[in-house]
Homo-oligomer: A and B are copies of this chain.
Amino acid sequence: MNPKHPVPERLLSAAGDLFARHGFDAASVRQITSRAKANLGAITYHFGSKEALFHAVLDRVGARMSDRFVAIAAERGTPLERIGRIVTMVLTEDNLPAPTLILRELANDRPLPPPLVLHMRRNFGAMIALIRDGQRDGTIRDGDPPLLAMSVMAQPFLMRIASRIPRDIAGVDGSDPDTRRRLVKHVVTTITRSLATTPGDRP
């Protein structure tokens, strides 16, 4: 944790990582402040409480992801191409704790924290708009856009956190760069196939 950065920033970084890796309850205030090279009281002082820090973290990492999201959605290219680029981004971007944090929150039965709802609405909005565009110009098949958007996001989100599946379950090295490239390509192909009106394998 670079001590040149201001303390609140360091706390957000450390907390983002630890909340993603261990969950809200298992990541203790002492662990977070120690990794951020800050005093035990720093969280209370700068954010008010552990939960307030958590919400600030969700806001930050959620914003980071949805910014990348809508930026790609606004690029050039067919809707399917841009969807593929978003999927690739979710799978390859470094320091992207958002998917893990979001999945953790979804697994809980308590309501989603407000900042998270906001950013997820932004993500889904962008994805749904892309799908509607594709349906309008005939390159994306019919179907309920929100449902299609969920189907599209499910794979990269899950694959992102399931890097241990290849290793522990299938006995493959998930950290090998070549394996990762194949995985990204596979996911993009699979999603494209499930969305496209004219699958690429047609002669």
On A, residues with C-beta under 8 Å from B are 20-26, 100, 103-104, 106-109, 111-112, 117, 120-121, 124, 141, 143-144, 146-148, 150-151, 154-155, 157-159, 161-162, 164-166, 168-170, 172, 182-183, 186-187, 189-191, 193-194, 197, 199, 201-202
> Copies of this chain, how many?
2
**A151 with B155: in contact, given A25-B23, A117-B168 (CB under 8 Å)?**
yes
Q: Which of B106, B165, B201 contacts A165 (CB 8 A)?
A: B106
Cβ contacts under 8 Å, A146 to chain B: 166, 170, 172
Q: What is the CB-to-nearest-CB distance from A127 to chain B, in angstroms, rounded to a whole number?
A: 11
Q: Nearest chain B CB to A57's CB is how many angstroms away?
A: 15
Q: Mostly helix, strand, loop or mixed at chain A's interface?
A: helix
- B109 touching A21, Cβ below 8 Å: yes
Write the nearest CB–CB distance from A129 to chain B, whole angstroms: 13
Q: A187 to chain B: which residues have CB within 8 Å?
A: 151
- B141-A201 in contact (CB<8A): yes
**Can you list 18 A-B contacts (CB < 8 A)?**
A21-B109, A24-B26, A25-B26, A103-B103, A103-B107, A103-B161, A106-B161, A107-B161, A111-B168, A112-B168, A117-B168, A143-B189, A147-B182, A154-B154, A158-B158, A193-B194, A199-B199, A202-B202
